Chains A and B, each alone.
Chain A
Amino acid sequence: MRTVVPFWRDNRIVPILVQLFFLVLVILLGGFFYNNLQVGLDKTGMKLGFSFLNQSAGFSIKETSIQYSPADSYGRALLVGFTNTIKVAFWGIILATILGVFVGIGRLSSNWLVRNVAAVYVEIIRNTPLLVQLYIWYFALFMQLPKIQDSIILPGSIHLSNRGLALPWLVSTSGTRIWLAFFLVGIVAGFLIYKKQTEKQLITGIDRYPALWAMGALLLSLLFAWLITMDKPFLLTVPTVDGLRYSGGYRLSPEFATILLGLVVYTGAFIAEIVRAGIQAVSKGQTEAAKALGLGHSLSLRLVILPQALRVIIPSMTSQYLNLAKNSSLAIAVGYPDFFSVSGTTLNQTGRAVEIITLVMVAYLSISLLTSLLMNIFNKRMRLVER
């Protein structure tokens, strides 16, 4: 006989009910906040809308990766801020990873000094607030450099002052694009030839000089580039002090340098711990086995330990990357015009608090989601390595 189960004990219905309750909860909360917002806006007589984004911004931003002038729209200004944030996050993630991996390995080093320096770095950096660190980098390091007139000039015409770092840089000529195209072709061709020659070498056992072949392919295509353009691929400009600024070369502002350095050093410490934990998670037997096979320390690290550690490391790394991207919003403290800074100015000029805060949330959310997505793909690929 079938017993009738009351619906609140029915295994098929209960989960649905739970979901429903959550849905109602979320809607209630959302509705409550929305209502609150409407009441508040009505009181002050303000209307929501994004048309202000087309108005002329009127403020200038000098540190830009895309063309911008004060006559451009608020939308454009925000885009400038966004690219600046991406710039910091991109380089920050790369450099912090490199630093973190080295320090993480260093913490397990058999060298007493290396091990302890790494430990001190990690402990100090992890246990102090990032904002304080940014202030220290900015005011106690970059601002203490000499003034521009007394720039420190390092070999290679590198100028260093509290106005920033100026490096010799390349400027494009009429032929740069063609050179670049041929360079790329050369690289691809060289790579293909290299692979082919190595294969043959493996099969036949006769030396086929793969590296030489590849170099030859690259040089040949560059020769073509020169024959076509009859011009240099680029010119080198060297920075010089010109009144209050550097002209020529590439200038790294102290503001950008601070936020980048701050984020790299800060996040690097966390990454180091993740790397260390990841390495330690690989069972000791693996190290011993590698040793037994006659692999040296660095070879066994590269070929045996790290590939296995990566699987533990990557998921935690993702959250560090997300932190780095979000922490970059502290940039305004040291005067770097990132997205948060520009949106603050826009908010101030237009008074559009709700719209701009929404934009800020959407922007950071999309950066985070994109980072997560990429890392998840990477993670999946790493997992396939498992045998």
Chain B
Amino acid sequence: MRKKAYLLVILLLLVTMTLAACGQDSTQEPTQTTTGNQSSRSTLEVVKNRGYVIVGVNSKLPGFGYLEPDGSYSGFDVEFGRALAAAIFNDPNAVEFRPLSAKDRLTAVQTGEVDVLMRNTTWTISRDTSLGLNFAPTTFYDGQGMMVRKDSGINSLEDLDGARIGVQTGTTTELNLTDHMRKLNVDFEPIVFEDLDSVVAAYEAGSIDAWTTDISGLASRQATLADPNAHKVLPEVMSKEPLGPVVREGDDQWYDIVKWTIFATIEAEELGITQGNIDSFMNSDDPVFRRFLGVEGDLGTNLGLSNDFTVNIIKSVGNYGEIFDRYLGPDTVFNLERGLNDLWTNGGLMYAPPFR
């Protein structure tokens, strides 16, 4: 008996010691493994050391972020992740995509599980200020809509009195819905699911009368319904949903890199530079082109990237308009209008600050 106790003490001592040692290790480890935020090591350094950038994306929204059957990712949001990889590594495939649900995505950015989130995430003041996050320029201006069956006789939000409305948890959608319906004095029952697929399945079964999310999300999922033509999106737009990339607060250089990667695609469209014709601009005499393409000046190196990072981006994924058309344009099932997402010169909101 005594011997046993003796042994136990020794064992415990050992355990305590190793644990204490582990404790020390793991307090130091994050400096090496987690991304960003350490003053000693910038996110860019960490990413470069790792050899690829980790991007949080959607996996269930065709056209925006979608996990293809072959295991690759495709979509509008996903493409900006590739643009970022191209800007840093001159290789659009130097990226690892992590599928994130609406509920988990912001925590994943906060904890550094992903370097950047590119997943239809709305820029709001509370997310920006109280969650320790920073929002890069909006890549898609959206609004919240409501989908109903055409044969339901529902033609406006007021007709939804008594309806069961499906919504996904962890979204701005959840709050907007209540706000808006309270204003209209419409009594409804929210059915909150964790998984978007469940929302859509319950809607298709007719157990819920309508479901709501960003109009882009509605369009994306409508295309995958059994009979897309049996459904419609109500004309009312319930909110403003500027969707864009998110990074963690505290590393301005990294924030700048993400921002200017987005701006580069917009600026390229404005300048008329495309994936196909970019080479013809390399010898341009126009200082605007020369600076943008890094032939002149040091815009890229100031960011901590190579001077021709814009060239790498455009060559890999094309300009903003090309990305939009590839995934959402007239040749796709979604056939979305550019609308607000057109260049400012065409009456839209896409506007890049000067590259100078």
What is the interface of chain A, defined by CB distance below 8 A to chain B?
8-9, 11, 14-15, 17-18, 21-22, 24-25, 28-29, 32, 35-36, 40, 43-46, 58-63, 70, 138-139, 142-144, 147, 162-163, 242-245, 254-255, 332-335, 337, 341, 344-345, 348-351, 353
Question: Which residues of the other chain, B, contact A245 by a CB distance below 8 angstroms?
Answer: 162-163, 189
Judging by beta carbons under 8 Å apart, are B198 and A244 in contact? no
Question: Which residues of the other chain, A, contact B163 by a CB distance below 8 angstroms?
Answer: 244-245
Known: A143-B205, A353-B107. A244 touches B12 (CB 8 A): no
Known: A21-B13, A245-B162. A147 touches B206 (CB 8 A): yes
Q: How far is the CB of B338 from chain A (nearest CB, A)?
A: 31
Q: In the assembly, what is the distance between CA of A40 and CA of B248, in Å?
A: 12
Q: How far is the CB of A40 from chain B (nearest CB, A)?
A: 8
Judging by beta carbons under 8 Å apart, are B164 and A341 in contact? no
Judging by beta carbons under 8 Å apart, are B194 and A244 in contact? no
Known: A28-B16, A244-B162, A351-B131. A9 touches B2 (CB 8 A): yes
Tell me what chain A mostly uses at the interface: helix, strand, loop, or mixed: helix
Judging by beta carbons under 8 Å apart, are A62 and B190 in contact? yes
Q: Which of B16, B110, B170, B178 contacts A348 (CB 8 A)?
A: B170
What is the interface of chain B, defined by CB distance below 8 A to chain A?
2, 5-6, 8-9, 12-13, 15-16, 19-20, 23, 26-27, 37, 102-103, 106-107, 110-111, 126-127, 130-132, 160-164, 166, 169-171, 174-175, 178-179, 181-182, 188-195, 198, 201-202, 205-207, 209, 248-250
Judging by beta carbons under 8 Å apart, are A344 and B161 in contact? no
Judging by beta carbons under 8 Å apart, are B12 and A18 in contact? yes
Question: Which residues of the other chain, A, contact B160 by a CB distance below 8 angstroms?
Answer: 244
Question: Which residues of the other chain, A, contact B6 by a CB distance below 8 angstroms?
Answer: 8-9, 14
Judging by beta carbons under 8 Å apart, are B250 and A44 in contact? yes
Judging by beta carbons under 8 Å apart, are A254 and B178 in contact? no
Judging by beta carbons under 8 Å apart, are A143 and B179 in contact? no
Known: A44-B132, A70-B182, A143-B202. A32 touches B23 (CB 8 A): yes
Question: Which residues of the other chain, A, contact B2 by a CB distance below 8 angstroms?
Answer: 9, 11, 14
Chain A, residue nearest B109 (CB): A44
Q: Which of B170, B195, B201, B248 contacts A344 (CB 8 A)?
A: B170
Question: Which residues of the other chain, A, contact B131 by a CB distance below 8 angstroms?
Answer: 44, 46, 351
- 6 A-B pairs with CB atoms under 8 Å apart are A45-B132, A58-B175, A58-B179, A62-B190, A139-B205, A333-B193
Chain A, residue nearest B38 (CB): A43
Chain B, residue nearest A351 (CB): B131
Q: Which of B106, B202, B205 contacts A335 (CB 8 A)?
A: B202
Q: In the assembly, what is the distance between CA of A143 and CA of B162, in Å?
A: 18
Q: How far is the CB of B249 from chain A (nearest CB, A)?
A: 6
Known: A24-B16, A344-B169. A35 touches B193 (CB 8 A): no
Q: In the assembly, what is the distance between CA of A61 and CA of B167, in Å?
A: 12
Q: In the assembly, what is the distance between CA of A44 and CA of B188, in Å?
A: 38
Judging by beta carbons under 8 Å apart, are A8 and B193 in contact? no
Judging by beta carbons under 8 Å apart, are A70 and B193 in contact? no
Q: How far is the CB of A194 from chain B (nearest CB, A)?
A: 46
Q: How far is the CB of A47 from chain B (nearest CB, A)?
A: 10
Q: In the assembly, what is the distance between CA of A50 and CA of B300, in Å?
A: 45
Question: Which residues of the other chain, A, contact B27 by a CB distance below 8 angstroms?
Answer: 32, 35-36
Judging by beta carbons under 8 Å apart, are A18 and B9 in contact? yes
Identify the 10 closest CB pairs spanning chains A and B, nearest first: A44-B132, A143-B205, A62-B189, A245-B162, A351-B131, A162-B207, A335-B191, A244-B162, A14-B5, A21-B12
Judging by beta carbons under 8 Å apart, are B249 and A15 in contact? no
Q: In the assembly, what is the distance between CA of A337 and CA of B164, in Å?
A: 14
Chain A, residue nearest B24 (CB): A32
Known: A11-B2, A14-B5, A14-B9. A28 touches B20 (CB 8 A): yes
Q: Which of B19, B178, B202 contacts A25 (CB 8 A)?
A: B19
Question: Which residues of the other chain, A, contact B20 by a CB distance below 8 angstroms?
Answer: 28
Known: A9-B6, A348-B169. A28 touches B207 (CB 8 A): no
Question: Which residues of the other chain, A, contact B19 by a CB distance below 8 angstroms?
Answer: 25, 28-29
Q: How far is the CB of B188 from chain A (nearest CB, A)?
A: 8
Judging by beta carbons under 8 Å apart, are B194 and A242 in contact? no
Q: Which of B9, B16, B248 contacts A17 (CB 8 A)?
A: B9
Known: A70-B182, A335-B191, A344-B103. A46 touches B130 (CB 8 A): yes
Q: In the assembly, what is the distance between CA of A243 and CA of B158, in Å?
A: 13
Judging by beta carbons under 8 Å apart, are B193 and A244 in contact? no
Q: In the assembly, what is the distance between CA of A138 and CA of B202, in Å?
A: 9
Q: How far is the CB of B6 from chain A (nearest CB, A)?
A: 7
Question: Which residues of the other chain, A, contact B15 by a CB distance below 8 angstroms?
Answer: 25
Q: Which of A43, A60, A244, A255 contacts B161 (CB 8 A)?
A: A244
Chain A, residue nearest B13 (CB): A21
Judging by beta carbons under 8 Å apart, are A25 and B16 in contact? yes
Judging by beta carbons under 8 Å apart, are B162 and A242 in contact? yes
Known: A17-B9, A351-B131. 6 other contacts (CB 8 A): A22-B12, A40-B111, A60-B182, A345-B169, A345-B170, A348-B102
Q: How far is the CB of B203 from chain A (nearest CB, A)?
A: 10
Known: A59-B178, A70-B178, A348-B174. A43 touches B37 (CB 8 A): yes
Question: Which residues of the other chain, B, contact A243 by a CB distance below 8 angstroms?
Answer: 161-162
Q: Which of A24, A162, A348 contacts B103 (CB 8 A)?
A: A348
Question: Which residues of the other chain, A, contact B201 by a CB distance below 8 angstroms?
Answer: 139, 143
Q: How far is the CB of A15 from chain B (nearest CB, A)?
A: 7
Q: In the assembly, what is the distance between CA of A254 and CA of B110, in Å?
A: 36
Q: How far is the CB of B320 from chain A (nearest CB, A)?
A: 30
Judging by beta carbons under 8 Å apart, are A59 and B16 in contact? no
Judging by beta carbons under 8 Å apart, are A44 and B248 in contact? yes
Question: Which residues of the other chain, A, contact B248 by a CB distance below 8 angstroms?
Answer: 44
Chain A, residue nearest B12 (CB): A21
Question: Which residues of the other chain, B, contact A348 by a CB distance below 8 angstroms?
Answer: 102-103, 106, 169-171, 174
Chain B, residue nearest A340 (CB): B194
Judging by beta carbons under 8 Å apart, are A244 and B209 in contact? yes
Q: In the assembly, what is the distance between CA of A353 and CA of B110, in Å?
A: 11
Judging by beta carbons under 8 Å apart, are A351 and B106 in contact? yes
Judging by beta carbons under 8 Å apart, are A162 and B206 in contact? yes
Q: Which of A22, A40, A59, A350 contacts B190 (CB 8 A)?
A: A59
Q: In the assembly, what is the distance between CA of A40 and CA of B174, in Å?
A: 28
Question: Which residues of the other chain, A, contact B166 by a CB distance below 8 angstroms?
Answer: 335
Question: Which residues of the other chain, A, contact B106 by a CB distance below 8 angstroms?
Answer: 348, 351
Known: A139-B201, A162-B207. A43 touches B250 (CB 8 A): yes
Q: In the assembly, what is the distance between CA of A63 and CA of B192, in Å?
A: 11
